[in-house]
Amino acid sequence: MLLLLLLLLLLLLLLLLLLLLLLLLLLLLLLLLLLLLLLLLLLLLLLLQLLLLILLLLLLLLLLLLHHHHHHNHHHHHHHHDKKRIHTMAATTTYSPYRGKVRQNLKNLSVIRTDRLEIFVSPNQFLSVPLSY
């Protein structure tokens, strides 16, 4: 009889231990999950920051481009200046067919201006784009 009680006690103890172990395991898992969540959160925050940075940069670029566009559209009295620049550019080109084309394109200057000068800011780049199209 005593032996049976002892065995039962032992069994109970074992069960308790097992439960305790399970609880510990669960706790550990929970901790791990929390850690993972924390890491994910951090990663998300980092990504968010990156995204915000990229968005900010894009916005800045857009603003710059818009400002540039704005700037070009409002100064129509600078027209003769552009003509002069085209002339000097025509003078610097080596072969004459190109020069003739530049002169011929002078009447379409406004078209070229809106199409090209917005994108190509420096005169050198502007020159590298074929004006005939």
Question: Could you read off the pLDDT of 26-68 as tens digits, one per residue?
Answer: 999 999 999 999 999 999 999 999 999 999 999 999 999 887 7
Residues 67 and 83 in one domain: no
Are 56 and 48 within 8 A, CB to CB? no
Closest to 102 in 3D by CA, of 67, 132, 70:
132
Instruction: Please check whether residue 120 lies inside any domain of the structure.
Output: yes
Contact 121, 64 (CB under 8 A): no
Q: Is 120 exposed, middle or buried (0-12, 13-18, 19+ CB in 10 A)?
A: middle
Return the top range by mean pLDDT from 2-11, 67-76, 89-98. Answer: 2-11
- Which residues have C-beta within 8 Å of that of residue 68, sequence separation ≥ 6? 118, 121
Whole-prediction pTM value?
Answer: 0.33
- Full residue range of the structural domain in which residue 106 is found: 79-133
Same domain, 55 and 98: no
Residue 71 has pLDDT above 90, yes or no: no
